[in-house]
Structure 1
Amino acid sequence: MSSMDSFLQTTSPVPDFSLDLRGTPCPINFVRTKLQLEKMAPGALLEVWLDAGEPVEQVPDSLRMEGYAIEALEDCGDYCRLQVRRSQ
């Protein structure tokens, strides 16, 4: 295992579930994210791929207001990767 592999493993935990919501408009992307989180076990990690712009500006803020913990938000070029943890 290279040092880069171990760095990626320690800084980017493997999500319990992933959603690709690229191309999904607001507020549908938030609703789908919240519905998936509600199905998951407390403490589980969800990774969501969102379009840049309004989705990445609105979805994380809305999730925070609902009590979810945003663990990562990363610009991946043509989309953004959001990691959110379900409340305990």
Structure 2
Amino acid sequence: MSETEILPDEKIDITDVTCPITFVKTKVALDELENGQILQVHLNGGEPIQNVPRSVKDEGHTVLKVAENADGTFELFIRKNED
């Protein structure tokens, strides 16, 4: 059984920033989306992958998927929920 691919409406790369700016950039990108749209976030392991998913859930959004890349970075897929 194959997994359905998630098609993001927008993508951001935050591998060049550190916490807490990782969440700030993610929040700004989510603010620009319509409710129900999907944001793909390319981020580093460690603090970013621990904190960003938790923070977006705390803001009321849905983490659809977290996937680790071969280079140790991650892809985070977030559905924007109503403000």
| TM-score, normalisation: structure 2 | 0.90
**2:74 aligned with 1:80:** yes
Counterpart among 23, 28, 33 of residue 30 in structure 1 = 23
Deviation by residue 1:18-37 (Cα, 9 ceiling, x = unmatched): 00111210010100101110
Gapped runs of 5+ residues in structure 1?
Answer: 1-6
Q: Give the helix-richer structure, 1 or 2.
A: 1
Give the secondary-structure state (helix, strand or coil) at the position aligned to 1:11. coil
Task: Give the number of equivalent residue pairs.
Answer: 81
Q: Which runs of 4+ in 1 moved over 2 A?
A: none
Distance in 1 (CA, whole Å) between partners of 2:29 and 2:48 is: 17
Structure 2 unaligned regions, length at least 5 = none
User: CA RMSD, aligned part only?
Assistant: 1.4
Partners of 1:64 and 1:86 lie apart in 2 by 10
TM-score normalised over the length of structure 1: 0.85
State the partner residue of 2:52.
59
Select the structure of larger CA radius of gyration. Answer: 1
